[in-house]
């Protein structure tokens, strides 16, 4: 499997990932989106590697959360896991590696901006974990997860009370193929009694509005409203 025009050679990605692959075709396959395979009969997409990588990712993150945050309850540990194991967060990890330039995409998907889509990037990131597991074993795959995803866990644990509605909205937006939420805020009133009004935009359109005594609480209200509306549209309810 060789990169098409527009995709960078995967040996550079291997360097960024930090593993010298015995079988470099595994990493190339991790970058192969089904749209590319549809245009290249006989090739294999990254979906099976993604399936494997997803399971490994869940195991490693659960293990890290359990060992690192011994004072957190089971519910809080679940919150930490959800905060780092979601399409938006994994796509950010993929972007940090510049993974978009290595993706193998069909012409239509490439033209539609597929190299920066959260769903495609997160799938490729999980597939990379699967490729590392097969080529280097569980310790190599776990070390990669700890270097990338694990680095975000402490920050997530400190902000668990602000994750619920905003994370849910990010997930729904990624599933719907929309741009990540943008929050616009303004404050009124004296310094000792400010009220914050926040609007949340998706694809340049306002989807929710919230008010609160702090910007973070107002963002949560706006995100909850936007998430409810987006979920309603996605499910047709």
List active site positions. 54, 126
161 contacts 197 by C-beta, under 8 angstroms: no
Distance CA 203, CA 201 (A): 7
Note every long-range contact of 48-51, with CB atoms under 8 Å and residues 24 or more positions apart, other chains counting.
Answer: 48/130, 49/126, 49/127, 49/128, 49/130, 49/131, 49/134, 50/123, 50/124, 50/126, 50/127, 50/130, 51/130
The two tokens of residue 1 are 């499997």
* Residue whose pair of structure tokens reads 């402490």 in the numeric block: 154
């Amino acid at each position: 499997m060789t990169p098409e025009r527009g995709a960078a050679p995967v040996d550079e990605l291997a360097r960024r990932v930090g593993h010298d692959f015995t079988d470099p075709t595994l990493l190339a396959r991790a970058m192969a989106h089904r749209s590319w395979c549809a245009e290249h009969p006989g090739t294999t997409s990254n979906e099976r590697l993604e399936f494997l990588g997803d399971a490994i990712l869940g195991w490693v993150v659960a293990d890290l959360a359990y060992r690192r945050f011994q004072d957190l309850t089971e519910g809080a540990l679940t919150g930490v896991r959800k905060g780092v194991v979601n399409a938006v967060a994994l796509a950010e990890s993929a972007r940090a590696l510049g993974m978009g330039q290595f993706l193998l995409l069909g012409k239509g998907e490439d033209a539609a901006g597929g190299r920066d889509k959260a769903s495609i990037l997160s799938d490729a990131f999980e597939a990379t974990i699967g490729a590392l597991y097969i080529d280097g074993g569980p310790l190599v795959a776990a070390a990669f997860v700890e270097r990338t995803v694990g680095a975000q866990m402490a920050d997530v644990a400190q902000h668990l009370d602000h994750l619920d509605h905003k994370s849910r909205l990010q997930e729904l937006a990624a599933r719907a193929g929309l741009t990540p939420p943008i929050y616009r805020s303004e404050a009124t009133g004296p310094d000792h009694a400010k009220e914050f009004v926040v609007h949340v935009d998706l694809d340049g359109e306002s989807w929710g509005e919230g008010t609160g005594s702090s910007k973070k609480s107002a963002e949560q209200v706006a995100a909850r409203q936007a998430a409810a509306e987006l979920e309603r549209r996605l499910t047709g309810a």
